[in-house]
Chain A
Amino acid sequence: MRSMLKGLIAVAMACTASSAWSATLDNVKKNGVLTCGTNSATAGFSLPDNEGKWTGFVVDYCRAVAAAVLGDAQKVKFIPLTPKDRFTALQSGEIDILAHNATWTSSRDMSLGILFAGTYFYDGQGFMVRKADNITSAKGLDGASICVTQGTTTELNLADYFRSQSLKYSTVGFADEEAVVKAFEEGRCDVLSADTSTLNASRLRMAKPDDSIVLPELISKEPLGPAVRQGDDQWFNVAKWTLYVMVAAEEFGVTSKNVDAMKSSDNPNIRRLLGVEGSIGKDIGLGDNWPVEVIKQVGNYGEVFDRNVGKDSPLKMERGLNALWNKGGIQYAPPIR
């Protein structure tokens, strides 16, 4: 009997150990598709149309990773996740990469078994109120009902802010971002609190967007970034450097339109970026051409920003902090060499 038990354990170990830890990059290559967890419906960031085609800022980031790894920006499977479920899905391996409006915080990096791979959008938490309430400052929110999305830093920042200001409030929380916006719109709460980018995106989901205003105060720093599982450095690098390549491309003026021409540029920075010189592909386990594919199929950071949330989009957000470091912002890619 004991030997039988041992045998069973051995079989069980053999079955599980083989795949207990397989590299995400190899998996993605083997499956031929990148599984990417995104917001279920945030206009400008991640939104499926009626035919199930996804568009948005974080969606484009996923497409860039797919272009880098698989050479095809269309080979992405999008899994819509609520903020509450997103880290669980990433931890468990349900998704390969999380490209959500998720804030990079110390505790998330240290205790959730995930790592943020950078910041694709610098944001801050704000408040949206109804114009009719004549509120001009967050200090006037005493006693308000506030709609928040569960499982966000918003929930925590609110608690901090109202405690430090000794104001009273009560939250109404839903897992689903759409439900939160709808609850605010239908008058269940006086205030909608979220990252300002999300607040602006929410307006697009409102029947009367002009009835609400965003208060000037920002009560927190919200660096939004992609996240991957801990313990897979190679994949972490893929996630991180895909983003930096896009930022660097903007810095060097490489766009989706001129990328092929830029390959013959004399600028060594551009040549290294596009893999003409150096070993940007080999060291990371991708083809030398991957940055070209990313820029050609998806675009550089500025293009992606403008197309989805910036000046060419209905959201018309300013670059602000998200401008390049040499243009007044803080988007900054480490040197590629």
Chain B
Amino acid sequence: MSDLTLSVQPRRSLSLHNKKVRGIFYQVLLAGSLLALALGIGIQTTSNMRARGIPLSFGFWNEAAGFDINQTLISYDTLSTYGQAFWVGVVNTLYVSLLAILLATLLGFVVGIARLSQNWIVAKVATSYVEVIRNIPLLLQLLFWYNAVLKPLPAPKSSIEIPGGIYLNNRGLIIPEIQLHPGAGLVDLAFAAAIFFCIVFCFYAKRAQRRTGRQLPVLLVSLATLIGFPLVIFLAAGEPVSFIRPQLHGFNFQGGHQLYPEFAALLIGLSVYTGSYIAEIVRGGVQAVAKGQTEAAYALGFSPGKTLRLVVVPQALRIIIPPLTSQYLNLTKNSSLAVFVGYPDLVQIFAGTVLNQTGAAVQVMAITLAVYLAISIVTSLAMNAFNRHFAIVER
């Protein structure tokens, strides 16, 4: 019977020689074995955890943590819960990552463009920076910044004093704390007003340029307003701000804000390392913009700076953004190396101390991985949207 159908309609047969059937067969096989693997792991894990009395629930979340964290952006003390410790970790990770992304981008753009400079020595120095930094492991760089640069700074008693009440020692950089007095609100208002004025002026300048072809000094005027107006109000209100200068008291400085060396090492290390990658991306992007574009801009009388800013970089951005996104994500993931320099990030606090104290290893690791995955997915989505926006500009 089957032989007959085979001979009549060989292409529709259900044999493994049929490509479609084969495809389905392999896929079912793959899905099945993966499912079996997942099931096996699930069963094994839960049965192991049960047999060994390891907590299977997330009940630890609301228990008191009982340990201290030295750098927190959100309120936390020893009476806080493990859940709050988790959030401290997340915020600390995001904080150092965002700051490092900012610095790395700045550094990367400057170095990337410097590598293309007409000036031989500038290009060479930029190239050396990239070639040295990219070829040394980040962990080594972090350890170097922390152990060989920041830790050997003098002890608090012999701090390096920087004018303005700033102190640098092996406990970090301590800067005065700003204290606001009544009237400080006026300065804020003045600042808001200045921003509003700048936006209006920007629009006006654009219109004016379209109408008359003359360019107004937007940057200069904006800067002057943004700094000048609040300053005038500040003086007029009788300087409603005072600084609490840090005082050496006992072991350490009291008062003032402290930038810890652990944080600084991580921030510097991440920025310098990722900056070198961003520099290469920027260089590649700029070089990919057709030379005719630059030449046309010069022919139209654009200055080199304006050519770069108005012609080359906007086009290069389109090429730059996708790899830039993955560098940002790499940086965020690399911030987990905080454990090596003692900065309390998500991995150090949550996947470290909290995991150790609660014993809920599986749950804690699952949450930690989920946070990083979520950051990765959100960033990818945001950058894709940004990318689409830029892609549409191309007609």
Contacts and interface: CB of A to CB of B under 8 A. Distances in A.
Decide whether A and B assemble into one complex. Answer: yes
Interface of A: 4-5, 8-9, 11-13, 15-17, 20-21, 83-88, 91-93, 107, 111-114, 133, 141-145, 150-151, 155-156, 158-160, 163, 169-175, 179, 182-183, 186-188, 190, 229-231
A150 B356 contact: yes
Nearest to B32: A8
16 contacts: A4-B32, A8-B39, A11-B36, A15-B40, A16-B40, A17-B43, A20-B47, A20-B48, A88-B356, A91-B54, A143-B252, A145-B251, A171-B70, A187-B170, A188-B261, A230-B53
A143 B254 contact: yes
| Majority secondary structure, A binding face | helix
Contacts of B94: none
Interface string B32-54: 10011101100110011101111
A188 B147 CA distance: 10
Contacts of B68: 155, 158-159, 169-171
Contacts of A112: 54, 359
Given A151-B356, A231-B51, A12 B39 contact: yes
In this complex, the member of B47, B49, B69, B357 whose beta carbon has the largest number of chain A beta carbons within 10 angstroms is B357
Interface in B5-53: 32, 35-37, 39-40, 43-44, 47-49, 51-53
B171 A188 contact: yes
Contacts of A4: 32
Given A8-B35, A172-B342, A156 B66 contact: yes
B361 A91 contact: yes
B256 interface: no
A133 B47 contact: no
A173 to B, nearest CB: 6
Interface size class of B (residues with CB under 8 A): 35 or more
Contacts of A88: 355-356, 359, 361
A143 B47 contact: no
Interface of B: 32, 35-37, 39-40, 43-44, 47-49, 51-55, 66-70, 78, 147, 151-152, 155, 170-171, 249-252, 254, 261-262, 339, 342, 344, 348, 352-353, 355-359, 361
A142 B48 CA distance: 46
Contacts of A11: 36
Contacts of A174: 342
Contacts of A229: 52
B60 to A, nearest CB: 8
A230 B52 CA distance: 5
A150 B352 contact: yes
Given A155-B67, A190-B251, A230-B52, A12 B170 contact: no
A198 B47 CA distance: 37
Given A84-B356, A144-B252, A91 B171 contact: no
Contacts of B53: 113, 230-231
B189 to A, nearest CB: 37
Given A17-B43, A175-B339, 12 more contacts: A20-B48, A21-B47, A21-B51, A91-B361, A113-B49, A113-B54, A143-B251, A150-B352, A186-B147, A186-B152, A187-B151, A187-B170
Nearest to B252: A143
Contacts of A142: 250-251
Nearest to A143: B250
B357 A151 contact: yes
Nearest to B36: A8
B353 A84 contact: yes
Nearest to B342: A174
A9 B68 CA distance: 45
Contacts of A156: 66-67, 357
Contacts of B39: 8-9, 12
A5 B78 CA distance: 49
Contacts of B54: 91, 112-113
A11 B36 CA distance: 8
B44 A188 contact: no
A107 B66 CA distance: 13
A180 to B, nearest CB: 9
Contacts of B47: 16-17, 20-21
A86 B359 CA distance: 10
Nearest to A9: B39
B89 to A, nearest CB: 13
